[in-house]
Amino acid sequence: MTTMTADAGSMTEPIPTEFLGYWKRLDEPGIRRARRLCRAILRFDPIPDEAQVLDFARGYYDADPVAEAFVDEVYGGRGSAEGRRMLDLAIAHGVESIPDAPESMRKLFDEFERPPAWLDPAKIDQGAALFRRFGPSVFSFAGVETLLGYTESSIVKPLSMTGGYAGDSALNRFMETARFWIDVSEPGGLDTGGPGRATAMRVRVMHVFLRRHIVEHPDWEIDSWGVPISQSDALITLMSSSLTPGLAMHLMGYRTTRREIETLMHYWRYIGHLLGVQPRWYPETFVEGLQLSTVFLLKCAKTAGADGVELVESYPRAFTPKTGGPWRRRLRDEINYRAQVGYTRFFLPGRFYRKYDMPNPWPWALHPLLRAPGIFIVDTLRRHVPPIARQVDRYARWRRNTWWLNEMGEKESKFAPAEALRR
């Protein structure tokens, strides 16, 4: 592993070599001009303190030692079937329901059940309601947003190696993620026994298995990328579920305020905590979130190559309507497919979209824009009339579940790790 940092030659914790380009880009004339303009006009520096940058950089080597110790002792010592049985029992009835639970399991569930010191319970309910109000539009945006990260090897290689988001499996994997978004944001979804909370623990354990499969693969370059599914990549995922949707939904007419975005960030920080995402630095304010996003953009090495191209091009095609079935379903699927292609072009930069072999998005790229006036009116009324706010919440919840059922029917999400990598 390399030990190079911003202070060349210093002996300290490792930093992935692909991150080192961040410090080189800071000296580019265009970046320096942009910083001066941001300080002059917006009154803040888009670059955070060096200590925060280093925390983020070193976090690419941070994994989840608490969950890993549990997997070693329970799954490794007692077998996969017994490990799954004990995990399911503890999720449903608490770790106290397992008399012979080992110390690693008790430590995992103690961390899972104990509220962190920074938690504001009121913001959790508020954040869930804010996330629900976007309906399925936020799922479409989040799916499109991930395509911009498919230039980065640390993000792309795990997805490509498992095959989860490529080819014919892309839709199922995306809809599993959407099911998780629905479960964690339904009323009570994060309460003890709630579906979102249960899924979070299963996903956390699944990530341990995936991380171990991938890090042993000969194509994984730990010096360049850090560990698979690192704390820092997971932190960017949390920002892409809170900060950027809060900003992007403005384009569709939602009147998300700066304070509401910070509430969303807090809400997703707690979901991350349940998933084992506990980074060294988590942005607490809107400005800090923008600063972290700037660091990520500047450090991007864009080395994903053909694997990234495959994932980008698989996404819109995953929604291609299937042949056969009743005509009403075929018509609905055709409309849904074109709407998804429209979202993809609407939220992606034109140069990025044209770089790949993507479907013709016109005129559906105008669909989100045409919806904006109606959304703006309803969102304004929601703010001032409580009965309308309650109706809007019920409608958004119904829309999300209907959207999911239209794509998946009665199929259940499994959240199971890949038994083997596809290459």
Taking the C-alpha atoms of residue 312 and residue 356, their distance in angstroms, rounded to an integer, is: 8
Give the tens place of pLDDT for each residue, 178-193: 999 999 999 999 998 8
| Residue whose C-alpha is closest to residue 308's, from 166, 210, 162, 168 | 166
Give the tens place of pLDDT for each residue, 26-43: 999 999 999 999 999 999
Length of the chain: 423
Pair 46, 35: CB distance under 8 Å:
yes
Instruction: Using the predicted structure, report yes or no on whether residue 1 has a pLDDT greater than 50.
Output: no
> Mean pLDDT, to the nearest integer, of 101-117?
95
Instruction: Using the predicted structure, report yes or no on whether residue 137 has a pLDDT greater than 60.
Output: yes
Taking the C-alpha atoms of residue 172 and residue 95, their distance in angstroms, rounded to an integer, is: 31
**Residue, of 320 and 298, whose pLDDT is higher:** 298
Q: How far is CA 56 from the centre of its chain?
A: 17
- What is the predicted pLDDT for the residue at 131? 96
- What is the predicted pLDDT for the residue at 2? 39
Pair 230, 65: CB distance under 8 Å:
no
Taking the C-alpha atoms of residue 276 and residue 230, their distance in angstroms, rounded to an integer, is: 10
- What is the predicted pLDDT for the residue at 162? 80
**Residue, of 256 and 3, whose pLDDT is higher:** 256
Domain boundaries, the chain: 65-113, 121-408
Query: Position 172: which residue type?
Result: N
Q: How far is CA 402 from the centre of its chain?
A: 22
Taking the C-alpha atoms of residue 296 and residue 294, their distance in angstroms, rounded to an integer, is: 5
Max CA-CA distance within the chain? 67
Instruction: Using the predicted structure, report yes or no on whether residue 5 has a pLDDT greater than 50.
Output: no
Supply 160's token pair. Answer: 């490509």
For residue 41, give Cα distances in angstroms to 46, 49, 217, 243, 250. 12, 20, 48, 21, 21
Give the tens place of pLDDT for each residue, 301-358: 999 999 999 999 999 998 888 777 788 888 888 988 999 999 999 999 999 999 999 9
CB atoms within 10 A of CB 197: 20
Spell out the alpha helix ranges (H) of 43-136: 50-58, 65-70, 76-78, 80-93, 103-113, 121-133
- What is the predicted pLDDT for the residue at 325? 77
> pLDDT tier at 161 (50, 70, 90 boundaries)?
confident
Supply 234's token pair. Answer: 């997971």
